């Protein structure tokens, strides 16, 4: 039988004698401090893990499926078809000057990303239980990776939108350049919700059951099938507190160049994203040290 | 921190909140798991009064580990060994005290952690290495060595779910082994895997112990391995350090306290043992085991007999077709099942307490810690209902000791000793 020692330590310790290297890995273990600031440097140090977990999620998602990544297109596309028939044709929901299919698909694009991202990230910690209870790493990487992995679906589905715009002869104006901002807004919203729900789900598995209901409800208060214009003016401020309302209206404005820039709505959405994200971070930070004991 | 100290631990403590009477669980692991499983219960019994109580898995733990030192950590199940390692590897936080750790920590406890069955061997190497904290160019540099060591070359692009368990383990271990941490944590790893895998782990540990600057924390029930590898030893008992110092005296201390639990030739009360299932119409209330040599306090030894006396309480007179004594190893593999049903023997029980004596002629197991299990059932009824009269999976732990002179070797290659010789060829 081969001796492990002969084989394992072939190119060994010389690199480790270097004290600088050792000090880089020095750490002090203490009881959890309660309210602590998020350690961005630590997360940065584990950026490769973030990359690999994202990559794993993407890689694994469509394994053993027949049509693979086409699911990323099919989901929003078929929803768009159904919406166009029911809301566009049968119920005559107003979509302004834009054809209803483009109108709804432009909204479904960020919406599908958002709902996929939050449902995946909220269960992500529990699904990584064996990782969390055995290895140290900043736990926040897990919900982060789940959200980032959903971006790939978004990118694939985006190609279809370009095709549709070509089909309907819609040429975006310079507003198009603001699109990255709205994508970022959607990502940050998903992060905020993901931090909250994933951390809560570790302790209270009820969250996993509430997610489908939550996304359904959230869809109704987001201008996906309808336009914000049907919301009474005096309630717009409340409506704008839903960050996804700002995202969706922003998408429509940036891509389809419909009407005025929804500045007021976006400003409100921006505020609530900041609140959502910062409270989510704080809550996550506060409970993260318990995960290994509870999960 | 002084340059030669790799780990300094000061007054470290870890408290878990548990709910319900703690006696309902027989190990800490179960206790904690039970507390976690019953959050509703915990909510209902708020505060420390109504059945919810605090449990210190570790308390006032202080020690230093010098750079390059191999420290053994021993203790019974639930003594806090795993909790200590989890704190030192930063998986969980302590409740009190602190620890200063100088160097990259790697652990063979994490073998295969984060492997995804759908991903290929190649992909899992990168993923697993990232989880263990390796940088990508580091992995790229060691990739071929990892693959060669694991011996999975032709299957590199096959999903690991198609691997045999041996290949899976080899790959997982190979990645962990090439992490090359300054501080290596090994927890019970010798209890899992086949003999070859265990040998690899020990070989790896020996290699690391010999190379300079490496620090090892080694948790094991294998006292010979501890003695062989460790320069120093600490003994945990109920979350405290019960003894620390050189291996020989610490192990002796450990054996003296662990024998309190199940000393040979003493009756051990199992009437309140919680880890059991069955109808209880007839049940084990006490057990006594012994071998035949008074010179070693009747400890069982590989070639010796093992007598097990059982006190069985029955609520009515009955003739029982299946009474069994089982011996399992630490990882729960059943090694011996001496069941009367195999000999077509019936045990006649009268109402009240009966004595039954089973003799295993020769235990034929290598030295080590084993568990004794007890089983009592009606073979036909249990076939249909899955309910024995009584089944105690682990009534007690006992040790099979070495009686042969000069064979103080590591018994790594199997649980069963055998006679063998080299034959002349040709």
User: Taking 90 as the threshold, does the pLDDT of residue B308 lie above it?
Assistant: yes
Provide the pLDDT for residue B359: 93
Q: Mean pLDDT check: name the lowest of A234-248, B184-198, B207-221, B372-386.
A: B184-198
DSSP string, B366-416: -SEEEEEEEEEE-HHHHHHH---SEEEEEEEEEEEPP-STT------S-SS
What are the tens digits of pLDDT across the range B194-226? 566 666 667 767 776 676 668 889 887 777 778
Pick the more confident residue, A178 or B54: A178
User: Taking 80 as the threshold, does the pLDDT of residue A72 lie above it?
Assistant: yes
Token pair belonging to A181: 């901002």
User: Taking 60 as the threshold, does the pLDDT of residue A14 lie above it?
Assistant: no
Provide the pLDDT for residue B390: 92
Provide the pLDDT for residue B34: 54
What are the tens digits of pLDDT across the range A126-150? 999 888 888 888 999 999 999 999 9
CB B314 within 8 Å of CB B281: yes
Pick the more confident residue, B34 or B130: B130
Residue A230 lies in a domain: yes
Token pair belonging to A152: 């790939």
User: Taking 80 as the threshold, does the pLDDT of residue A80 lie above it?
Assistant: yes
**Which of B 317-346 lie inside 8 A of A, CB atoms?**
none
Neighbouring C-alpha atoms within 13 Å toward the C-beta of A62? 14
* Per-residue exposure over B398-409, b if at least 16 CB sit within 10 Å of its own CB, e if not: bbbbbbeeeeee
What's the structural domain count of chain A? 1
B59 vs A: CB within 8 A: no
Interface probe, candidates B2, B87, B203, B225, chain A, greatest A C-beta count within 10 A: B203
CA–CA dist B138, B182 (Å, integer): 15
* Full set of structural domains in chain B with CATH: 5-104+181-258 (3.40.50.300), 109-175 (no CATH), 268-400 (2.70.50.60)
- Average pLDDT rounded to a whole number, residues B386-396: 86
Q: Which of A225, A233, A269, A278 has its CA nearest to residue A250?
A: A269
- In this complex, the residue of A12, A51, A60 whose CB is nearest that of residue B211 is A12
Pick the more confident residue, B22 or B325: B325
Residue A29 lies in a domain: no
Residue A21 lies in a domain: no
Residue A14 lies in a domain: no
Provide the pLDDT for residue A2: 36
B145 vs A: CB within 8 A: yes
Q: Which of A197, A201, A190, A196 has its CA nearest to residue A291?
A: A201
Token pair belonging to B222: 């294998």
Considering chain A, what is the average pLDDT of its residues? 85
Provide the pLDDT for residue B182: 82
- Average pLDDT rounded to a whole number, residues A75-87: 93
Sign of the four-CA dihedral A284, A286, A287, A288: positive
Q: What residues make up the domain containing A240?
A: 40-294
Pick the more confident residue, B180 or A118: A118
Residue A65 lies in a domain: yes
**Which of B 149-208 lie inside 8 A of A, CB atoms?**
149, 177-178, 180, 182, 196, 199-204, 206-208
Provide the pLDDT for residue A11: 32
**Strands B322-328, B105-107: pairing kind:** unpaired
Which pTM was predicted?
0.70
Interface probe, candidates A36, A133, A135, A207, chain B, greatest B C-beta count within 10 A: A135
Within a 10 A sphere around the Cβ of A21, how many other Cβ atoms? 13
Provide the pLDDT for residue A5: 34
Residue A15 lies in a domain: no
Confidence of residue A183 (pLDDT cuts 50, 70, 90): very high
Confidence of residue B103 (pLDDT cuts 50, 70, 90): confident
Residue A153 lies in a domain: yes
Residue A258 lies in a domain: yes
Q: 3-state class of A54 per DSSP?
A: helix
- Average pLDDT rounded to a whole number, residues A54-63: 87
What are the tens digits of pLDDT across the range B33-80? 555 555 544 444 444 444 456 788 899 999 999 888 889 998 877 788
CA–CA dist B251, A121 (Å, integer): 47
A4 vs B: CB within 8 A: yes
Confidence of residue A220 (pLDDT cuts 50, 70, 90): very high
CB A21 within 8 Å of CB B138: no
């Amino acid at each position: 039988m081969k001796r492990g020692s002969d084989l394992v330590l072939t190119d060994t310790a010389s690199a480790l004698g270097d004290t600088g290297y050792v000090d880089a890995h020095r750490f002090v273990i203490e009881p959890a401090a309660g309210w602590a600031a998020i350690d961005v440097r630590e997360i940065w140090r584990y950026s490769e893990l973030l990359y690999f977990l994202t990559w794993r999620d993407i890689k694994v998602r469509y394994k053993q499926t027949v049509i693979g990544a086409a699911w990323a297109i099919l989901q929003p596309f078929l929803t768009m078809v159904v919406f166009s028939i029911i809301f566009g044709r049968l119920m005559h929901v107003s979509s302004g000057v834009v054809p209803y299919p483009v109108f709804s698909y432009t909204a479904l694009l960020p919406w599908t990303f958002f709902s996929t991202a939050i449902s995946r990230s909220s269960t992500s910690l529990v699904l990584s239980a064996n990782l969390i209870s055995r290895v140290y790493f900043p736990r926040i990487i897990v919900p982060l990776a789940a959200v980032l992995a959903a971006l790939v679906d978004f990118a694939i589905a985006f190609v279809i939108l370009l095709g549709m715009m070509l089909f309907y002869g819609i040429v975006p104006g310079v507003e198009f350049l603001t699109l990255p901002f709205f994508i970022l807004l959607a990502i940050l919203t998903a992060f905020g919700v993901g931090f909250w729900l994933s951390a809560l789900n570790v302790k209270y598995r009820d969250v996993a059951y509430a997610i489908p209901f939550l996304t359904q409800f959230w869809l109704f208060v987001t201008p996906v099938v309808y336009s914000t214009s049907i919301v009474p003016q005096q309630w717009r401020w409340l409506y704008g507190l839903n960050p996804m309302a700002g995202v969706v209206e922003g998408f429509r404005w940036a891509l389809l160049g419909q009407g005025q820039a929804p500045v007021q709505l976006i400003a409100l959405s921006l505020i609530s994203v900041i609140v959502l994200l910062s409270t989510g971070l704080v809550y996550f930070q506060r409970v993260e040290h318990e995960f290994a004991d509870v999960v | 921190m002084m340059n030669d100290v790799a780990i300094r631990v000061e007054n470290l403590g870890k408290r878990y909140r548990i709910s319900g009477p703690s006696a309902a669980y027989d190990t800490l692991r179960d206790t904690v798991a039970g507390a976690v499983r019953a959050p509703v219960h915990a909510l209902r019994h708020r505060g420390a009064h109504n059945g919810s109580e605090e449990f210190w898995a570790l308390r006032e733990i202080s020690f230093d580990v010098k750079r390059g030192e191999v420290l053994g950590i021993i203790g019974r199940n639930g003594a806090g060994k795993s909790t200590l390692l989890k704190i030192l590897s930063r998986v969980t936080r302590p409740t009190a005290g602190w620890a200063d750790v100088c160097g990259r920590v790697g652990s063979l406890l994490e073998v295969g952690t984060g492997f995804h069955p759908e991903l290929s061997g190649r992909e899992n190497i990168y993923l697993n290495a990232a989880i263990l904290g390796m940088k990508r160019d580091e992995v790229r540099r060691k990739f071929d060595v990892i693959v060669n060591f694991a011996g999975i070359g032709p299957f590199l692009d096959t999903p690991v779910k198609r691997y045999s368990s041996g290949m899976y383990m080899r790959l997982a271990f190979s990645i962990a082994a090439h992490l090359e941490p300054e501080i290596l944590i090994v927890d019970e790893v010798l209890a899992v895997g086949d003999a070859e895998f265990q040998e690899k782990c020990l070989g790896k540990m020996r290699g690391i112990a010999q190379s300079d600057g490496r620090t090892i924390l080694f948790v094991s029930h294998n006292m010979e391995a501890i003695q062989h590898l460790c320069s120093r030893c600490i003994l945990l008992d109920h979350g405290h350090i019960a003894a620390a110092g050189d291996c020989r005296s610490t192990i002796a201390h450990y054996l003296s306290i662990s024998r309190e639990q199940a000393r040979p030739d003493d009756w051990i009360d199992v009437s309140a043992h919680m880890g059991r299932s069955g109808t209880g119409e007839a049940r084990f209330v006490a057990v006594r085991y012994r071998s035949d040599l008074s010179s070693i306090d009747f400890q069982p030894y590989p070639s010796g007999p093992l007598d097990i006396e059982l006190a069985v309480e029955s609520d009515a007179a009955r003739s029982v077709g299946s009474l069994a004594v089982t011996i399992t190893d630490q990882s729960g593999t059943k090694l011996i099942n001496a069941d009367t049903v195999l000999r077509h023997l019936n045990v006649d029980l009268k109402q009240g307490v009966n004595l039954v004596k089973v003799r295993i002629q020769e235990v034929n197991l290598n030295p080590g810690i084993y568990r004794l299990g007890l089983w009592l059932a009606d073979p036909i009824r249990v076939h249909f209902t899955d309910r024995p009269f009584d089944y105690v999976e682990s009534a007690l732990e006992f040790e099979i000791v070495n009686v042969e002179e000069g064979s103080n070797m590591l018994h790594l290659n199997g649980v069963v000793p055998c006679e063998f010789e080299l034959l002349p060829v040709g």
